[in-house]
Amino acid sequence: DSVKIFAPASVSNVGPGFDILGFALEGIGDTITLSKRNGQAYLIDAVGADIPQDPEKNVATVALSSFCKEVGYHGGFLIRIEKSFTPGSGLGSSASSAVGAVFAANELLNTGMTKEELVPFALDGEMLASGHRHGDNVAPCMLGGFVAVKSCDPFDGFQISYPKALKVLILFPDVLVKTVEARGLLPREVPMAQAIEQAANMAGLINGLTTANYQMIRKYMKDQLAQPYRKKLIPGYDDVETVCLENEAIGFNISGSGPAMFAFFKADQNLEPLKKWVKDFYEAKGIACRFYESAIN
């Protein structure tokens, strides 16, 4: 008895959608194979990344255990987690593993929960990784496409339509940013004027996405709540943002809590010259930079 599924990487904190708006990527993520085994223990077989082997410290098995408690299943599992991207990148690695585990368990045990009902269990894994129950990676990973999240327990959120001719470029400099630390940089309160501007930008971004208005997306993809405090964790952030916008990026932002950054482009734009510029820019600083070009899915 075993089930194999793919849980995509995701980009959260899209512009003014801090802790609210995220989307799923295509082609990168976790492939999870879940099999029943005798006894009650969980065994982890990790491929492609160095992730905790202790089931109490691994986001996938913590989420799995929370789900199994709820459905009253006490058997053991072997979970094989094949990661095609690095944890700590800002691409929702913990969400991919946690979502993949609960989604696979729901299939394997034939428990019949909806994807929305599975979200809180995946968040128990996310909580372990980041110390906070934000759903802007878990929900898009679970549901696909663009998802806005209002609350997580129970899940309250919805999918948003977006232009299919949009692609995303992920720029991933090899520096370490821990989500827990990046959250610690944020102010606990914001002035009313800033809250209003953030809400207005969110209205503009959503309208731009749903009507495929690239100018609106570019104009309103601005964040007041996280990006100004966190960008100092990413060397060269301002230069990379400027060069992307000069190369017709339709908005630019930190992906999650970083260090990855992302920019939207029209699907047919050749990004090789831009990637070369950014690669050389980081190489001059002694930092390797990787890129992913992906559709939104």
In whole angstroms, the minimum distance from the beta carbon of 197 to ligand HSE comes to 19
Residue 219 binds to ligand HSE (criterion: CB under 6 A): no
Q: Rounded to an integer, what distance in angstroms lies between the CA atom of residue 213 and that of residue 244?
A: 19
In whole angstroms, the minimum distance from the beta carbon of 87 to ligand HSE comes to 11
Question: For residues 185 and 267, which CB has a smaller minimum distance to ligand HSE in the complex?
Answer: 185
Binding-site residue total for ligand HSE (CB under 6 A)?
Answer: 12
In whole angstroms, the minimum distance from the beta carbon of 41 to ligand HSE comes to 29
Identify the CA nearest to 19 among candidates 170, 146, 160, 135: 135
Cis peptide bond prior to 154, omega within 30° of 0: yes
- Stretch 240-269: interaction string toward ligand HSE, x if CB under 6 A: ----------------xx------------
Question: For residues 22 and 163, which CB has a smaller minimum distance to ligand HSE in the complex?
Answer: 22
* Measured CA angle at 104 (ends 100, 109), to 5 deg: 155
In whole angstroms, the minimum distance from the beta carbon of 233 to ligand HSE comes to 12
Q: In what order do the strands lie in the sheet with 166-173?
A: 252-254, 261-266, 166-173, 289-295
Q: Rounded to an integer, what distance in angstroms lies between the CA atom of residue 93 and that of residue 121?
A: 16
Residue 97 binds to ligand HSE (criterion: CB under 6 A): no
Residue carrying the six token digits 């979200």: 119
Residues near ligand HSE (CB under 6 A) are 12-13, 19, 130, 134, 136-137, 179, 183, 226, 256-257
